[in-house]
Amino acid sequence: MAKTPRIIIVGGGLAGLSAAIKVAEAGGSVDLFSVVPVKRSHSVCAQGGINSAKNLKGEGDSTWAHFDDTVYGGDFLANQVPVKQMCEMGPSIIDLLDRMGVPFNRTQEGLLDFRRFGGTLFNRTAFAGATTGQQLLYALDEQVRRFESEGKVRKFEYWEFLSSVIDSKGTCRGICAMDLRTMEVLTFPADAVLIATGGIGAIFGKSTNSVVCTGSAQSALYQQGAVYANAEMIQVHPTAIPGEDKVRLMSESARGEGGRVWVPKNPKETRAGKDVPEGERMYFLEEWYPKYGNLVPRDIATRAIHKVVHTLGLGVQGLPMVYLDLSHIDAATLDKKLGGILEIYEKFVGEDPRKVPMKIFPGMHYTMGGLWVDNDQQTNIPGLYAIGECDYSIHGANRLGANSLLSCIYAGFIAGPHSMKYAAGLGADPEDLQASFDAEKKRQLELNNHLIENQGTENPFQLWREMGETMSKNVTVTRYNDNIRETEAKLVELLERYKKVNLSDRSMWSNQSFMFTRQLYNMLQLARAVAMGARLRDESRGSHYKPDFPERDDANFLKTSMARFAGAAEGPRFDWEPVDVSLIKPRPRRYDSK
């Protein structure tokens, strides 16, 4: 009998869990690594819903229309074959989630209810209140727990991925990881490794991402030779609540359910939002984009808000804020469809959005770029897969709302079975395989020892803050090459200062600041790729906007940017790969027609 394939999955969000289910179901043995108990993964933060062209509203929706909206929304930067496959798989994924018990909102006939999201004219988004990500994650978590109790999945929670183990033939054969409590470093062999470690929000300091979304794993792999693609494509969500510790998302579903974005026409307006008469309000998205209205894609809405605040000087009470208004909708409907996000606003801001307009501003939200993968989700390193937000496929230059949950599950459903097939065809071990494991472990232990003993004056949390500030200021919504150069120089400076980093905590038991400082180095290296990609792409496409190059330039930049690590000092080197546009011919992307 052939031996059971052993698949390592790093990350227990939607992508990781869906892959785990597929592998376990196919008879594989899963080792699932996560820095947090998987039920606490960042997927829980997804609010509004999951797209699938079920066409249950009699609108004539189709998977092709979903495919077209996604490719057009991403400004034609995504390779089209996997996008089409994802949209075609959408309806069966929703059915499966439904069977797993996700409490999706229902119509009076007991069918799945759907609402509208940005960048489409169809009601295509299935939802469970306004905590859809949480509900989806829980359903998958429950299925994985079932496999765990049957011995098919082993969980390693509170373990940090440090690096992959690559054999002498250049194939990924396992990982090196660290127990976050005992701080023990161990290597784990596998026939294939699936990386499902999410976005890179922490590189921007404050974002809508969870604390664990550092991009550290992706960066470690990039430094080991994995290609990091479209690094410059970063989504800034139009509606978020700035906070002291993070930026909190205020779901697009608020607009999907009829929420309206506006500012007072008078920049000197002093009355509270609810007291400003209708005629003295400027509903700028509805005015500028009559067809899509408040549901233009996120990059468009974000730039419109920046224009209103920074160019027109119409921010609410002179501050960088605009209103997102739900107060015209009856409270019972709001509670049923948006309860979770209303609660967040109430708890963290202290005002009731059923009664007064919410004050919001754009915040860093999603990483479209990521580890380069082929159509089977395999990276350029054989045996190493990337799935979900940490991979670069599907969303191109801008992600449509409610496509992320779908893309995560889709990627897991592709990579899970494919990795099993790959494992079955894996040849004999190279003779020096053990040496590869030993060498990687030694390298990681040396990094740890160096860090714990390092003497210096730099506080890692201060370095992180400075990185976040420069990245947010120069490499988000509006990008100028001079400013990006300034950020690149700052990142080099921070890497230099990192050499003098000083840990106030040198203990070897559950030392969180130690782990954070290791992640920080990876964040800095990856930030350089994001910044340099943004500088090199001299055009405007989707979320990437340069006033000095305001048009999309297909002749030169209908290409995937491919960042390769050239060395700790040198940083990234870029080359470019053509985009597969075999199914839908690129056309101008405009949302302002009638």
Q: Which residues are catalytic?
A: 298
Q: Could you say whether residue 462 binds other proteins (CB under 8 A)?
A: yes
Q: Could you say whether residue 197 binds other proteins (CB under 8 A)?
A: no
For residue 101, the Cα-to-chain-centroid distance in whole angstroms is: 25
Q: Select from 245, 275, 278, 570 the one that contacts other proteins (CB under 8 A).
A: 245
| Three-state DSSP class for residue 28 | coil
Count CB-CB contacts under 10 A for residue 192: 29
| Three-state DSSP class for residue 152 | coil
E strand or H helix at 155 = strand 153-157
Please say which residue, 104 or 385, places its beta carbon nearer to other proteins: 104
**Smallest separation (angstroms) from other proteins to the CB of 472:** 16
Q: Select from 25, 88, 376, 466 the one that contacts other proteins (CB under 8 A).
A: 25
| Three-state DSSP class for residue 277 | coil
Please say which residue, 131 or 474, places its beta carbon nearer to other proteins: 131
Interface of this chain with other proteins, residues 33 to 52, rule: CB under 8 A: 36-37, 39-42, 44-45
**Smallest separation (angstroms) from other proteins to the CB of 208:** 9
Q: How far apart are CA 248 and CA 352, in angstroms?
A: 16
Q: Could you say whether residue 246 binds other proteins (CB under 8 A)?
A: yes
Closest CA to 233 of 488, 552, 540: 540
Q: How far apart are CA 440 and CA 189, in angstroms?
A: 12
Interface of this chain with other proteins, residues 365 to 394, rule: CB under 8 A: none
Q: With 0-12 CB in 10 A as exposed, 13-18 as middle and 19+ as buried, what is 179?
A: middle
Q: Select from 3, 60, 149, 547 the one that contacts other proteins (CB under 8 A).
A: 149
Interface of this chain with other proteins, residues 333 to 352, rule: CB under 8 A: 336, 340, 343-344, 347-348, 350
Q: Which residues have CB under 8 Å from 88's CB, separation 6+?
A: 63, 67
Q: Could you say whether residue 457 binds other proteins (CB under 8 A)?
A: no
Q: Could you say whether residue 145 binds other proteins (CB under 8 A)?
A: yes
Please say which residue, 24 or 166, places its beta carbon nearer to other proteins: 24
Q: Select from 459, 478, 481, 483 the one that contacts other proteins (CB under 8 A).
A: 459
Q: Select from 95, 184, 374, 432 the one that contacts other proteins (CB under 8 A).
A: 95
Q: Could you say whether residue 210 binds other proteins (CB under 8 A)?
A: yes
**Smallest separation (angstroms) from other proteins to the CB of 469:** 13
Q: Could you say whether residue 454 binds other proteins (CB under 8 A)?
A: no
**Smallest separation (angstroms) from other proteins to the CB of 457:** 13
**Smallest separation (angstroms) from other proteins to the CB of 553:** 38
**Smallest separation (angstroms) from other proteins to the CB of 155:** 9
**Smallest separation (angstroms) from other proteins to the CB of 52:** 11
Q: Could you say whether residue 319 binds other proteins (CB under 8 A)?
A: no
Q: Select from 496, 505, 548, 592 the one that contacts other proteins (CB under 8 A).
A: 505
Q: Could you say whether residue 465 binds other proteins (CB under 8 A)?
A: yes
Q: Could you say whether residue 110 binds other proteins (CB under 8 A)?
A: yes
Q: How far apart are CA 24 and CA 151, in angstroms?
A: 9
Q: Could you say whether residue 152 binds other proteins (CB under 8 A)?
A: no
**Smallest separation (angstroms) from other proteins to the CB of 545:** 28
Q: How far apart are CA 162 and CA 403, in angstroms?
A: 29
Beta-carbon-side half-sphere exposure of residue 140 (alpha carbons within 13 Å): 30
Q: Could you say whether residue 142 binds other proteins (CB under 8 A)?
A: yes
Q: Select from 249, 358, 397, 520 the one that contacts other proteins (CB under 8 A).
A: 249
DSSP state of 252: T
Please say which residue, 90 or 362, places its beta carbon nearer to other proteins: 90
Helix residue ranges per DSSP H, 501-580: 512-536, 554-557
Please say which residue, 104 or 574, places its beta carbon nearer to other proteins: 104
For residue 456, the Cα-to-chain-centroid distance in whole angstroms is: 34
Q: How far apart are CA 66 and CA 192, in angstroms?
A: 32
Closest CA to 13 of 47, 52, 39: 39
Closest CA to 235 of 380, 63, 379, 118: 118
Q: Select from 4, 27, 81, 103 the one that contacts other proteins (CB under 8 A).
A: 103
Count CB-CB contacts under 10 A for residue 381: 20
Residue the block writes with tokens 């070897």:
508
Interface of this chain with other proteins, residues 117 to 136, rule: CB under 8 A: 128-129, 131, 134-135
Interface of this chain with other proteins, residues 410 to 439, rule: CB under 8 A: 413
Please say which residue, 504 or 593, places its beta carbon nearer to other proteins: 504
- What are residue 374's phi and psi, to 5 degrees? -85, -170
**Smallest separation (angstroms) from other proteins to the CB of 240:** 11
For residue 108, the Cα-to-chain-centroid distance in whole angstroms is: 34
Count CB-CB contacts under 10 A for residue 473: 14
Sheet arrangement for strand 185-189: 159-166, 172-179, 185-189
Count CB-CB contacts under 10 A for residue 142: 13
Interface of this chain with other proteins, residues 508 to 537, rule: CB under 8 A: 509-513
